[in-house]
């Protein structure tokens, strides 16, 4: 192929526009032999919190008609172990792939503490802030659903780090564009959208919810139209604001054509999550399909397609 797939975004150079989404690729080590993330644009780690977390009671994953529900509950090794053990391994194996660490907290202070610690490490290229986490002090409302919380988390982390800060927004709000604007005003260098949508599956024979927690987050092909609409809406809003903040499209991307939908809606990069559970090599295949599309259509660089659906 030999095509140049490089995407410049947030001052970084991505060797191709496909990244693996947080929580669906662990710390890069679980699938490395089958899908080395070094061939991708980047790895977004599982969300890291200050303390180690075991997560929610099982079962934590169940398949649905066009996707899956998960209630992992931010299970992770915790900040200390991540910095001491996981991050060095990731950096050693990353090659040209960018290392993006996804962080969260249950208070603004925790976000800032974790962000500052991770952001001071040279192995890290960018931080992704998971705003889909419940704010314990504000009655467990998601940070991402409250403009003031979004502003405090993003500006708090922004002040502590020199790296690009990506705000990962939740679609579970009335107006995602206004929350995107708050994140940008607070200093976000890019926006990732979307995280999962709330859902539930009931076991009819047992007459109770399947997941241990009852509710879970819906992901996979079922949410792609929601994600594409969010990217389109936020891109449109930014054009009106005259803001030039890149968008990373996430949600139900299983093939190159799915990724193209997001790119045409306004995404500069994409992340692949649930598709890796169906086929661990999906992210690499998607990158290849995008390159083949560009070659067939005579497009010099995939970035030339970003937002083109807005011209109609
Ligand atoms: C099993 C599982 C675990 C996830 N864990 C996280 C997480 O720790 N942090 C986060 O920001 N998003 C997490 N997500 C959300 C994904 O990163 C992504 O935003 C979402 O699944 C939509 O993309 P997809 O349809 O390609 O999976 C998780 C998703 C799944 C399926």
- Quick count: other Cβ atoms within 10 Å of Cβ 2? 5
Examine residue 243 and state whether it is found in any structural domain, yes or no. Answer: yes
In order of 158, 171, 287, the CA distances from 268 in angstroms are 22, 19, 13
* 3-state DSSP helix/strand/coil % of the chain, to nearest 5: 40, 20, 40
Q: Please give the structure tokens belonging to residue 207.
A: 């007459």
Instruction: Give the position, in ligand 1's atom list, of the atom nearest the Cα of 60.
Output: 1
Could you tell me which residues are beta bridge partners of residue 209?
A: 202
Instruction: Give the position, in ligand 1's atom list, of the atom nearest the Cα of 22.
Output: 17
The residue with tokens 């192995």 is 123
CATH of the domain at 247: 3.20.20.70
In order of 4, 128, 195, the CA distances from 110 in angstroms are 40, 14, 20
Examine residue 69 and state whether it is found in any structural domain, yes or no. Answer: no
Examine residue 283 and state whether it is found in any structural domain, yes or no. Answer: yes
- Quick count: other Cβ atoms within 10 Å of Cβ 162? 8
Give the distance, in angstroms, between the CA of residue 103 and the centroid of all CA atoms in the same chain: 11
Ligand 1 pocket mutation pick from 62, 65, 217, 252 by most atoms within 8 angstroms of CB: 217
Examine residue 64 and state whether it is found in any structural domain, yes or no. Answer: no
Which pLDDT belongs to residue 305? 97
Residue pair 70/216 in contact (Cβ under 8 Å)? The answer is yes
Q: Domain containing 300: what range?
A: 7-55+74-198+222-307
CA angle 106–108–114, rounded 5-degree value:
75
Examine residue 172 and state whether it is found in any structural domain, yes or no. Answer: yes
Residues whose CB falls within 8 Å of the CB of residue 16, separated by 6 or more in sequence, listed in order: 5, 6, 7, 40, 41, 287, 290, 291, 302
Q: Where are the alpha helices (DSSP H) in the chain?
A: 79-81, 87-93, 108-119, 147-160, 176-185, 224-241, 256-265, 275-278, 282-297
- Overall domain count for the chain: 1
The residue with tokens 């998607």 is 286
Examine residue 68 and state whether it is found in any structural domain, yes or no. Answer: no
Active-site hit among 9, 133, 235, 294: 133
- The C-alpha R_g of the chain, in whole angstroms, comes to 18
Examine residue 216 and state whether it is found in any structural domain, yes or no. Answer: no
Which pLDDT belongs to residue 1? 46
Examine residue 122 and state whether it is found in any structural domain, yes or no. Answer: yes
Please give the chain's pLDDT, 312 residues, in tens: 456 799 999 999 999 999 999 999 999 998 899 999 999 999 999 999 999 999 999 999 999 999 999 999 999 999 999 999 999 999 999 999 999 999 999 999 999 999 999 999 999 999 999 998 776 677 667 899 999 999 999 999 999 999 999 999 999 999 999 999 999 999 999 999 999 999 999 999 999 999 999 999 999 999 999 999 999 999 999 999 999 999 999 999 999 999 999 999 999 999 999 999 999 999 999 999 999 999 999 999 999 999 999 987
31 has catalytic annotation: no
User: CA 14 to CA 17: how far, in whole Å?
Assistant: 7
- Ligand 1 surroundings by CB, under 6 angstroms: 21-24, 46-47, 70, 72, 74, 102, 130, 168, 195-196, 219-220, 223, 250-253, 272-275
Which pLDDT belongs to residue 46? 96
């Amino acid at each position: 192929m030999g095509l140049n797939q490089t995407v410049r975004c947030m001052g970084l150079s991505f060797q191709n526009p496909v990244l693996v989404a947080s929580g669906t690729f662990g710390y890069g080590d679980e699938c490395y032999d089958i899908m080395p993330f070094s061939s991708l644009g980047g790895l977004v780690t599982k969300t890291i919190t200050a303390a180690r977390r075991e997560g929610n009671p099982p079962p934590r994953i169940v398949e649905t008609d066009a996707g899956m529900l998960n209630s992992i509950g931010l299970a992770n090794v915790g900040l200390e172990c991540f910095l001491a053990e996981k991050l060095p391994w990731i950096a050693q194996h990353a090659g040209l792939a960018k290392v993006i660490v996804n962080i969260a907290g249950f208070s603004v202070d925790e976000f800032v503490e974790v962000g500052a610690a991770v952001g001071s490490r040279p192995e890290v290229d960018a931080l992704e802030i998971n705003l889909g986490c419940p704010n314990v002090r504000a009655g467990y409302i998601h940070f991402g659903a409250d403009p003031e919380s979004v502003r405090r988390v993003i500006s708090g982390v922004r002040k502590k780090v020199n790296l690009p800060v990506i705000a990962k927004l939740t679609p579970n709000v009335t107006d995602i564009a206004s929350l995107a604007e708050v994140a940008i005003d607070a200093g976000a260098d890019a926006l990732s959208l979307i995280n999962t949508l709330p859902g539930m599956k009931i076991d009819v024979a047992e007459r109770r919810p399947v997941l241990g927690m009852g509710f879970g987050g819906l992901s996979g092909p079922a949410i792609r139209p929601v994600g594409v609409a969010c990217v389109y809406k936020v891109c449109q809003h930014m054009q009106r604001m005259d803001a030039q903040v890149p968008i990373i499209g996430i949600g139900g991307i299983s093939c190159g054509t799915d990724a193209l939908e997001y790119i045409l809606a306004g995404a500069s990069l994409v992340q692949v999550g649930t598709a890796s559970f169906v086929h661990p090599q999906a992210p690499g295949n998607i990158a290849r399909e995008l390159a083949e599309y560009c070659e067939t259509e005579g497009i010099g660089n995939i970035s030339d397609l970003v937002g083109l659906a807005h011209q109609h």
